[in-house]
Amino acid sequence: MEAAPSISAFQSIIGVFANPRKTFEGMAAKPRFLIPLILVVLAQAAFAVAIFQSGIVKSDAIAKMEAKGKPPEMIGAMEKFFDSPAAPVIGATTAVVVVAFVLLFNSALLFFIGNLMLGARLRFQHYLCVAAHAAVIGLVDVAVRLGLALGKGTLDIRLGLGNLFGEDPGFLGRFLDTLSNPLMLWSGAVSAVGVSVFAKKKFSFGVLVVLPAFLIGAVLSGISR
């Protein structure tokens, strides 16, 4: 069986949406991650600036402080911070650091599960390639959430089973919302395809490798508020 022709980094970004299996086959010999990684980081920074400048983060933060009975002085200081030019800069910087850390952590977790526990023989670059391209797919989720947040004026956006819960879904509601979010499931499925293609295994193998990271993400989402 002939190896799939190599593809460029820009082709991989388009291909991961159109035909992820063929795209990963074209990167098996030379996994690419730098361009999609840069794209994800810059996009997340831009989304962070947009959401800070919209005032939604400010209004949500103040509402939470008022609900907890925080003193007016503390609320005033919080409001002053969000009104300062530094707020969107800090938000964008935080987004860049968090996204980079999450991608590296996910790649390391995939490496541990895939190589050390399930016997795959892939380089770390393969797993970083998978994580970066799955994150590109994940930008669709972020963009949809941003659009809905701007329309509704709140960061409490649910795309899955969390809509069945009340005003405060709690840990369980947020956890189930992430697990059932079709856009997150899409990103997870692309990750599973990438791992299975690189490891030359069945799709089910990729699912086993990706599942722990997906569950950890759902747990973190559940405790994030």
First to last CA, the chain: 50
- 74 in a structural domain: yes
In a domain, 2, yes or no: no
138 near 187, Cβ under 8 Å?
yes
Greatest Cα pair distance in the chain = 70
Single-letter amino acid code for the residue at 222: G
Number of independent structural domains in the chain: 1
Ramachandran assignment for 6, one of left (phi > 0), alpha (psi -120 to 50 degrees), beta (any other): beta
- The verdict on residue 4 lying in a domain is no
Instruction: Give the structural domain span for 123.
Output: 9-222
Is 34 within the bounds of a domain? yes
Residue 30 in any domain: the answer is yes
The pLDDT averaged over each successive group of 10 residues in the chain (225 residues) is: 70 95 95 95 94 89 85 88 90 93 96 94 97 97 94 90 88 94 97 97 97 94 81
